[in-house]
């Protein structure tokens, strides 16, 4: 997948003597030691990352970890002390002011934690404010604002005022303001952290729904691990200015890079993180046109299983149990007559949470593609073993 943003060997030192602090970093000193020795603060320490086009890249860390500094370096609000930030190959850390303005105007929009809405302006005027600054004509501004409000489900509230909206609605106005400029990249700095938990969960799901249709490149900053795991295609975890691990939610929870990450993830509900694909085994189905019940019995004995899936012209036709196949083999050997039409099935991206009730049937779970072909199989014991790993 094409990289939209690259961060290469990024450092940010606050305090005016970057060279001195960088030299100490290279000698092995940590953030606290450098501050004690020089008064310089290490904001970002040798960060390397790549954001693929169209993905949600989540940067997670506690307060002071460097995540907000990192996101501000992406759009040039903060210049790195060393390293480069590339957006479509343009180094925003070293380009001219004119080029930086063009990148911000054409490619990047930012959504902040605080709504910062003008109370005396309508919702539509708030959304269109950045377009007005650019000199866009009023009619076009209104059209763009209306489209953006429709995208976040607030099209009917265009002429309302901010104090007439709930907190969640106000944050959606902030999101619409970012979308109105039609950016390729959305930078979102803890946009939902000021919201109540239930509204926050709703906003997370709305962002995911919006992303399915818009396919923006999103860099999302959060201090909340559950939010990171919910939203992130890729997650980068920061500590003391450094990125300590980058990976998918399954990578982070299943294979923490160090004790710090392990401590973060130890209480995570694995059933909400891992998907069927992570525990799937290859599909070894029988072809209904080339097998009889006796062949099904022999194949299940060879594989050591109590049930096996059957396909017809490549498409999943059903499931046959060992007991049903034995009975059918005694009664003429017709495999079709032994097929179970009602059997557990799911998609590759189904969460373990949703697989659990299917696993309780005791039957293997068919994982299907959109065209109803068999992509893999999950044995019930694999579901329970994965969930048990998190309790060890």
Residue 392 is predicted with a pLDDT of 41
Give yes or no for a contact between 12 and 71, defined as CB atoms under 8 angstroms apart.
no
- In a shared domain, residues 264 and 282: no
CA separation for the pair 136, 183 (Å, rounded): 16
- In a shared domain, residues 212 and 143: yes
- In a shared domain, residues 139 and 206: yes
DSSP structural state of residue 95: S
**Helix 138-151 to helix 167-180 angle, to the nearest 10 degrees?**
130
* Segment 25-32 long-range contacts (CB within 8 Å, at least 24 positions apart): 30/240, 31/240, 31/241
Residue 171 is predicted with a pLDDT of 87
- In a shared domain, residues 246 and 109: yes
Residue 172's domain is classified under what CATH number?
A: 3.40.50.300
DSSP structural state of residue 190: S
Residue 197 is predicted with a pLDDT of 86
- In a shared domain, residues 245 and 118: yes
The answer to the question of residue 263 being in a domain is: yes
Each residue's pLDDT tens digit, 33-58: 999 989 999 999 999 999 999 999 99
The answer to the question of residue 354 being in a domain is: yes
- In a shared domain, residues 253 and 351: no
Domain count, the chain: 2
Residue 136 is predicted with a pLDDT of 85
Q: Where are the beta strands (DSSP E) in 203-241?
A: 217-222, 234-239
Give yes or no for a contact between 33 and 44, defined as CB atoms under 8 angstroms apart.
no
Give the residues of the chain that fall short of pLDDT 50: 391-392
Residue 370's domain is classified under what CATH number?
A: 3.10.580.10
Residue 67 is predicted with a pLDDT of 94
Q: Mean pLDDT score of the chain, rounded to an integer?
A: 91
pTM: 0.84
Q: If you search the block for the tokens 């149990």, which residue do you land on?
A: 321
- In a shared domain, residues 244 and 312: no
CA separation for the pair 121, 127 (Å, rounded): 10
- In a shared domain, residues 378 and 287: yes
Residue 6 is predicted with a pLDDT of 96
Q: Which domain holds residue 385?
A: 277-389
- In a shared domain, residues 345 and 265: no
The answer to the question of residue 173 being in a domain is: yes
- In a shared domain, residues 229 and 190: yes
- In a shared domain, residues 123 and 226: yes
- In a shared domain, residues 142 and 201: yes
Q: Which of 245, 272, 299 is the last residue of a domain?
A: 272
Q: Where are the beta strands (DSSP E) in the chain?
A: 3-14, 41-52, 56-60, 82-87, 90-91, 108-111, 185-189, 217-222, 234-239, 242-247, 286-287, 307-312, 315-321, 345-347, 365-368, 374-378
The answer to the question of residue 180 being in a domain is: yes
Q: Which of 272, 303, 319 is the last residue of a domain?
A: 272
Characterize the bridge pairing of strands 374-378 and 365-368.
Answer: antiparallel
């Amino acid at each position: 997948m094409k990289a939209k943003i690259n961060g290469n060997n990024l450092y940010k030192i606050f305090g005016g003597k970057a060279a001195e602090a960088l030299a100490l970093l290279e000698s092995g000193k940590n953030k606290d030691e450098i501050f004690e020795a020089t008064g310089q603060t290490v904001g970002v320490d040798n960060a390397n990352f790549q954001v693929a086009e169209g993905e949600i890249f989540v940067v997670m860390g506690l307060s002071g970890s460097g995540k907000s500094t990192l996101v501000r370096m992406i759009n040039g609000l903060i210049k790195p002390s060393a390293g480069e930030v590339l957006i479509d190959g343009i180094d925003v850390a070293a380009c001219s002011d004119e080029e930086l303005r063009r990148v911000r105007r054409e490619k990047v929009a930012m959504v902040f934690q605080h709504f910062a809405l003008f109370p005396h302006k309508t919702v539509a005027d708030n959304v269109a404010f950045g377009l007005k600054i650019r000199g866009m004509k009023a009619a076009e501004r209104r059209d763009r604002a209306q489209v953006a409000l429709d995208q976040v489900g607030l099209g009917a509230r265009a002429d309302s005022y901010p104090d007439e909206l709930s907190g969640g609605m106000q944050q959606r106005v902030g999101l619409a303001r970012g979308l109105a400029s039609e950016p390729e990249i959305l930078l979102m700095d803890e946009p939902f952290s000021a919201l109540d938990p239930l509204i926050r969960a709703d906003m997370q799901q709305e962002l995911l729904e919006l992303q399915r249709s818009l396919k923006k490149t999103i860099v999302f900053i959060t201090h909340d691990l559950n939010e990171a795991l919910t939203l992130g295609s890729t997650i980068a975890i920061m500590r003391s200015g450094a990125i300590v691990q980058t990976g998918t939610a399954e990578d982070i929870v299943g294979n923490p890079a160090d004790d710090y990450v392990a401590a973060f993830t130890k209480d995570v509900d694995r059933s909400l993180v891992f998907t069927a694909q992570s525990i799937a085994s290859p599909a070894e189905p029988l072809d209904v046109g080339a097998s009889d019940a006796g062949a099904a019995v022999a194949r299940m004995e060879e594989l050591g299983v109590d049930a096996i899936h059957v396909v017809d012209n490549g498409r999943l036709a059903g499931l046959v149990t060992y007991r049903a196949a034995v009975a059918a083999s005694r009664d003429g050997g017709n495999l079709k007559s032994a097929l179970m039409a009602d059997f557990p099935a799911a998609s590759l991206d189904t969460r373990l949470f949703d697989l659990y009730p299917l696993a309780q049937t005791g039957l293997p779970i068919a994982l299907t593609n959109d065209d109803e072909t068999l992509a893999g199989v999950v044995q019930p014991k694999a579901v329970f073993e994965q969930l048990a790993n998190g309790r060890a």
